[in-house]
């Protein structure tokens, strides 16, 4: 299963809460989280790892970040 969480334009802790909610809903799979601040990028990555997800890639696209997460 794969999904996307679009948290652009939101400030912490909203991006983290949205990402964690989706991780819990999915259980496993591939998740793409879109954020647009450095703080959100760091906080979402840390929260994902704490929940047992792996950060596969963090890509900078202009002023936003695409965080690819995976859990098998």
What residues does each domain of the chain span?
2-71
| pLDDT tens readout for residues 5-48 | 999 999 999 999 999 999 999 999 999 999 999 999 999 999 99
CATH number of 2-71: 3.30.110.40
For CA atoms 18, 70, 33, 38, the dihedral sign is positive
Determine the straight-line distance between the first and last CA of the chain, rounded to whole angstroms: 10
Distance CA 72, CA 62 (A): 30
Res. 1: pLDDT tops 90: no
């Amino acid at each position: 299963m794969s999904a996307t969480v679009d948290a652009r334009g939101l400030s912490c802790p909203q991006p983290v809460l949205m990402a964690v909610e989706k991780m819990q809903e999915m259980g496993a799979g591939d998740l793409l989280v879109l954020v647009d601040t450095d703080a959100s990028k760091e906080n979402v990555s840390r929260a994902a790892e704490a929940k047992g997800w792996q950060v596969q890639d963090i890509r900078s696209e202009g002023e936003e970040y695409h965080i690819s997460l995976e859990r098998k």
